[in-house]
Amino acid sequence: MISDHFRLTARQKVALGRLGLVTAEDLLRYFPSRYEAPAKECLIRDLTVGETVRVIGEVTAVKVGRGFKTKLPIGEVTLTDTTGQIKAIWFHQVYLAKKVFVGNFASLRGKVTERKGEFYLANPEIERLERLPDSSGSLFTDAGESELVSLQPVYPETRDLSSAWFYHAIKKLLRLGLAQKLLDPLPAEMLARYHLPALVTALVWIHSPRQESDAVVARKRFAFEEIFLIQLDRARRRVTYQNQPAHRISLPPDTLKSFIEQLPFPLTGAQDRAIKAILQDLARAEPMARLLEGDVGSGKTVVAAAAAYAAVRAGDEVAYMVPTEILAQQHFESFIANFAQLNINIGLLTGSDCRKFPSKISPHTHTAISRAQLLKWVANGEIPILIGTQTLIQKKVRWKRLGLVIIDEQHRFGVMQRQRLVGQGKKATQPAVPHLLSMTATPIPRTLALTLYGDLDLTLLDELPPGRRPVATAIVTEKTRSATYEKIKTELKAGRQAYIICPRIDAPDPLKALALNVKSAKLEYERLAREVFPDFQLGLLHGKLKPDDKEKVMADFVAGKIKILVATSVVEVGVNVVNATIIVIEGAERFGLAQLHQLRGRVARSSDQAYCYLFTTDSPNIPRLKYLASTKNGFELAEYDLSLRGAGALAGAKQWGISDIGMEAIKNLKMVEAARAEARELIKIDPELSRHPRLATRLQTLATRDIHFE
């Protein structure tokens, strides 16, 4: 436990908890985000204001007290060398002054500051030395024993825990030999294979590198370890899942053909290939675990419909889960269109609505029914396809023979929710698990997909239906803003609808927002309604609205009552409003390219010309936006963003729960592929990890800590 080694204030304890740091190992695995170049060693006589320096000498005074006026705690140490003396003053972390006593030797590292003609070092690093370094050569020749490191690690700070706190705390743990006590989870052969340092070495190198290459090698090891562990977790999940039995679902080729022929359009080549791959999976007695990844508008729904059709024909039931009520409604309707002539009952289950198709009265419409009635029909198999929101994973929902689970916009659901839904098909009398088809439109780089979705097989839908015109994308600066509003008015008058996306919900400080020119959805909604589009009905949508209000606004937009929807990026998820052909993105430079692309996808829904206006004031970012304007493919954009701005820039980087160091690996395809191959191989030979207890323990630890292992 960290608290066994340090005296911690209550607030520091809270801060450690916030970072998820509990054990000494956790702290040792808290890595610097960067290193500062070595400070110039200086004699006190030679100091100049503004320079960051290191001075070495004898402590001649120590004082801890309170500021004369401010009454805030202040620590002071006076250091003397052969040429003069200088004060170090701590306004924070006053306890640092207590690390040394008069008569000790010490090294101070900090910035030379001046007040009233007197020089001092403000909040410097301080280190006690056993003796003064050999005064003959350089101060640093005698590196063997000296505690001085030439590269200064800088740790990510948080309230109540500064970089210096981490530096000293970790240093102490290393000095106590705690790193040596840790067991390296990675097998020695594996380390040897990739020329990676062992755990202890890597810990020492990452926290106190003698040279930059030490840190680089150490970071590489931890990056590999993290990706390998995620892969191992996924590989194990995959084996566990696939070792369970599943129903064989096969669809005779001519039945498939007649299904395809009754669709309102011919399939794209990519849709055709995806359907074939899925049908092959379904025909096996082991459950499918497949991810269908396709750009917005690539037509995933019909692929899902084909899989659902195969299941229903084989006498199985299908659960189709989507993140919002509106999406559930839309999919319900497109399923009805896809199955119009096939005489199949379809149900809709959301928090507020229960429906059945066809209605008793007419074979072409659906009708509201009671929840109890709907659940009864699902339980006895009379409604073989049930589409809904998270309500599908409630205990009340029972199935007769659930054979296929489809999850749309799967990134919106956690692994737990996925497993709950899949788990619903299983009964004591019937051990089979359903096949799983997951779908997503989030274009992410291949390395990230391979890592995060290591438990799934990947199918890409990399072709848009014919006749789609690319969204005309233009960069708009302040100069062309009003001309652009006029263009939008013309489209609106022709009956079109528009989205206007703002980076924030409301401005915490209106003046600041004004100065930075950051539009907030609330203020912008008022301004546009009053000054720009007084003749049109506007709506406001953001994440802080109650779910019901959100649904209401969205429903009005879908119905065309609202012409202009002012929103934050909550509209990202796959709502299909065919009549909306304009999207304006305010502060476009603040969004990641993949996210901009997804937003743009909102209007790529019909064969009519659609427009995306990227409003920006920030000229340095314009090359990125230009790239977006010229590229239509989401995957290319994601790769470009990753290479240009690093993984942190990818939309949702945090939600994936990969650390900054792990993200370094994501840039390296070779490393990701190696980690994946190693993980799969190891699980093949040792699925229970019984011969790798350290790996099992480490996975267990992470499972209880980290979100990405859920």
Residues that bind Mg ion (CB under 5 A): 574
Q: Are 451 and 571 in contact (CB under 8 A)?
A: no
* Smallest distance from ligand ADP to CB 463, Å: 9
Between 209 and 443, CB nearer to ligand ADP: 443
Work out the number of other CB atoms within 10 angstroms of the CB of residue 190: 17
Between 297 and 434, CB nearer to ligand ADP: 297
Element (H, E) at 357: strand 354-357
Residue nearest to ligand ADP (CB): 299
Based on the shown chain and the rule CB under 6 A, indicate whether residue 323 belongs to the binding site for ligand ADP.
no
* Smallest distance from ligand ADP to CB 158, Å: 39
Instruction: Give the C-alpha separation, 488 to 584, whole Å.
Output: 9
Between 403 and 574, CB nearer to ligand ADP: 574
* Smallest distance from Mg ion to CB 586, Å: 25
Of ligand ADP, Mg ion, none, which one sits near residue 271, judging by CB under 5 to 8 A according to partner kind? ligand ADP
Of Mg ion, ligand ADP, none, which one sits near residue 232, judging by CB under 5 to 8 A according to partner kind? none
**Counts of helices then strands in the chain (DSSP H, E):** 24, 23
Of Mg ion, ligand ADP, none, which one sits near residue 539, judging by CB under 5 to 8 A according to partner kind? none
Of Mg ion, ligand ADP, none, which one sits near residue 267, judging by CB under 5 to 8 A according to partner kind? ligand ADP
Looking up tokens 């029914």 gives 369
Indicate the length of the chain as a whole number. 710
Of ligand ADP, Mg ion, none, which one sits near residue 393, judging by CB under 5 to 8 A according to partner kind? none
| Stretch of residues binding ligand ADP (CB under 6 A), selected from 93-101, 262-270, 472-480, 527-535 | 262-270
Based on the shown chain and the rule CB under 6 A, indicate whether residue 298 belongs to the binding site for ligand ADP.
yes
* Smallest distance from ligand ADP to CB 366, Å: 18
| Stretch of residues binding ligand ADP (CB under 6 A), selected from 264-272, 377-385, 534-542, 629-637 | 264-272
- Binder among 268, 389, 447, 497 for ligand ADP (CB under 6 A): 268
Q: Are 220 and 211 in contact (CB under 8 A)?
A: no
Based on the shown chain and the rule CB under 6 A, indicate whether residue 110 belongs to the binding site for ligand ADP.
no
Q: Which amino acid is at 76?
A: E
Binding mask 432-461 for ligand ADP (x = CB under 6 A): ---------x--------------------
Between 232 and 319, CB nearer to ligand ADP: 319
| Stretch of residues binding ligand ADP (CB under 6 A), selected from 4-12, 82-90, 222-230, 297-305 | 297-305
Based on the shown chain and the rule CB under 6 A, indicate whether residue 465 belongs to the binding site for ligand ADP.
yes
Q: Which of 409, 218, 397 lies closest to 301 in space, CA to CA?
A: 409
CB proximity list for 685: less than 8 A, separation 6 or greater:
none
Give, as ranges, the residues between 526 and 585 that touch ligand ADP (CB under 6 A). 574, 576
* Smallest distance from Mg ion to CB 219, Å: 38
Cis peptide preceding 358, ω within 30 of 0:
yes
- Looking from the CA of 239 toward its CB, the CA atoms found within 13 Å total 16
- Region of 160 (left: φ > 0; alpha: ψ -120 to 50; beta: rest) is left
Partners of 35 in the β-ladder = 153
Based on the shown chain and the rule CB under 6 A, indicate whether residue 271 belongs to the binding site for ligand ADP.
yes
Of Mg ion, ligand ADP, none, which one sits near residue 302, judging by CB under 5 to 8 A according to partner kind? ligand ADP
Looking up tokens 């100091």 gives 47
Q: Are 235 and 454 in contact (CB under 8 A)?
A: yes
Between 52 and 334, CB nearer to Mg ion: 334
Instruction: Give the C-alpha separation, 307 to 581, whole Å.
Output: 31
Based on the shown chain and the rule CB under 6 A, indicate whether residue 156 belongs to the binding site for ligand ADP.
no
Between 126 and 604, CB nearer to ligand ADP: 604
- Looking from the CA of 563 toward its CB, the CA atoms found within 13 Å total 16
Pair of tokens at residue 80? 């003397």
H helix intervals, 602-689: 622-630, 634-645, 660-666, 669-685
Based on the shown chain and the rule CB under 6 A, indicate whether residue 124 belongs to the binding site for ligand ADP.
no
| Stretch of residues binding ligand ADP (CB under 6 A), selected from 12-20, 108-116, 263-271, 341-349 | 263-271
* Smallest distance from ligand ADP to CB 340, Å: 13
Of ligand ADP, Mg ion, none, which one sits near residue 568, judging by CB under 5 to 8 A according to partner kind? none
Between 378 and 436, CB nearer to ligand ADP: 436
| Stretch of residues binding ligand ADP (CB under 6 A), selected from 43-51, 60-68, 299-307, 422-430 | 299-307
Give, as ranges, the residues between 234 and 253 that touch ligand ADP (CB under 6 A). none
- Binder among 299, 539, 587, 634 for ligand ADP (CB under 6 A): 299
H helix intervals, 528-633: 547-558, 593-601, 622-630
Q: Which of 510, 535, 536 lies closest to 524 in space, CA to CA?
A: 510
* Smallest distance from Mg ion to CB 298, Å: 9
Is residue 324 classed as helix, strand or coil in its secondary structure?
Answer: coil
Q: Are 544 and 520 in contact (CB under 8 A)?
A: no
Pair of tokens at residue 572? 């990202």
Q: Are 650 and 638 in contact (CB under 8 A)?
A: yes
Q: SS3 letters for 258-302? A: HHHHCCCCCCCHHHHHHHHHHHHHHCCCCCCEEEEEECCCCCHHH
- Binder among 9, 11, 257, 265 for ligand ADP (CB under 6 A): 265
Based on the shown chain and the rule CB under 6 A, indicate whether residue 231 belongs to the binding site for ligand ADP.
no
- Binder among 39, 108, 229, 302 for ligand ADP (CB under 6 A): 302
Q: Are 109 and 124 in contact (CB under 8 A)?
A: yes
Between 516 and 578, CB nearer to ligand ADP: 578
Of ligand ADP, Mg ion, none, which one sits near residue 389, judging by CB under 5 to 8 A according to partner kind? none
CA 531 to chain centre: 38
Instruction: Give the C-alpha separation, 437 to 304, whole Å.
Output: 8
* Smallest distance from ligand ADP to CB 585, Å: 19
What is each CA distance from 268 to 89, 144, 227, 259, 293, in whole angstroms?
Answer: 70, 68, 35, 15, 15
Q: What angle do CA 275, 279, 285 make, to 5 degrees?
A: 155
Between 267 and 649, CB nearer to ligand ADP: 267
Gyration radius (Cα) of the chain, Å: 31
| Stretch of residues binding ligand ADP (CB under 6 A), selected from 59-67, 244-252, 293-301, 347-355 | 293-301
Per CB under 6 A, residues contacting ligand ADP are 265, 267-268, 271, 294, 296-302, 441, 465, 574, 576
